């Protein structure tokens, strides 16, 4: 995992867009983003570690999603644009990269700056409910990812806007920051 501020320059979303200003794990934790490195090993110890995390966080289900040009065919570009639209979810988003790599961009609070997080196989990220974020592949154009969830997934993406800014899950997220007042 490598995290840094997004440079906001025009260009393909799958390029690094590295501002050369790194972001520490402590900064990520401060905005509620958790990271773990769980190397994939042939003995399957990674599965035991994932199961322990799932149990600890009361996650009972998971699935595996593969994203690639070969797998999505003609829908590849439209799916990439959809994943890259800024949004939030009402559930935590837990992702464990099994193969390939990609970027999660998250909004820093209170600056609203984009932080880009590059993940490879063996990286796990937990995004809190209510955080604005987006996802894109990198130039490798493929990933196979395990998604964990409590019961049935609530992955409805709430696009950023006035209505989402007052979503109860967004307001609860903002309350987690000292000195922040949630809009009524």
Contact 38, 13 (CB under 8 A): no
158 is in an annotated binding site: no
133 is in an annotated binding site: yes
Rounded to whole angstroms, the Cα distance separating 32 from 118 reads: 17
87 is in an annotated binding site: yes
- For residue 131 the two structure tokens come to 């955080």
Q: Tell how strand 114-120 and strand 2-6 pair up.
A: antiparallel
62 is in an annotated binding site: no
Residue 101 is given by DSSP the state E
What's 29-97 look like in SS3?
Answer: HHCCCEEEECCCCCCCHHHHHHHHHHHHCCCCEEEEEEEEHHHHHHHHHHHHHHHCCCEECCCCEEEEE
Residue list, annotated binding site for Fe(2+): 87, 89, 93, 133
Residue set of the binding site: 87, 89, 93, 133
Which residues fall in the annotated binding site for Ni(2+)?
87, 89, 93, 133
């Amino acid at each position: 995992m490598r995290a840094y501020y997004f440079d906001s320059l025009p260009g393909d979303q799958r390029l690094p867009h590295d501002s050369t200003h790194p972001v520490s794990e402590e900064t990520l934790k401060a905005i509620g983003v958790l990271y773990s490195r769980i190397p994939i090993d042939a003995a399957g110890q990674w599965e035991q570690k994932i199961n322990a995390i799932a149990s600890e966080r009361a996650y009972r289900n998971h699935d595996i999603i593969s994203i690639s040009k070969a797998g999505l065919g003609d829908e590849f570009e439209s799916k990439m644009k959809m994943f890259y639209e800024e949004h939030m979810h009402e559930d935590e988003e837990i992702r464990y990269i099994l193969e390939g790599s990609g970027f999660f961009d998250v909004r820093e609070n209170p600056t609203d700056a984009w932080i880009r997080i590059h993940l490879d196989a063996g990286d796990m990220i937990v995004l809190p409910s209510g955080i604005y974020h987006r996802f894109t592949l990198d130039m490798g154009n493929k990933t196979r990812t395990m998604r964990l969830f409590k019961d049935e997934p609530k992955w409805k993406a709430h696009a950023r806007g006035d209505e989402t800014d007052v979503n109860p899950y967004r307001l609860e997220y903002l309350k987690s920051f000292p000195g922040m007042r949630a809009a009524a």
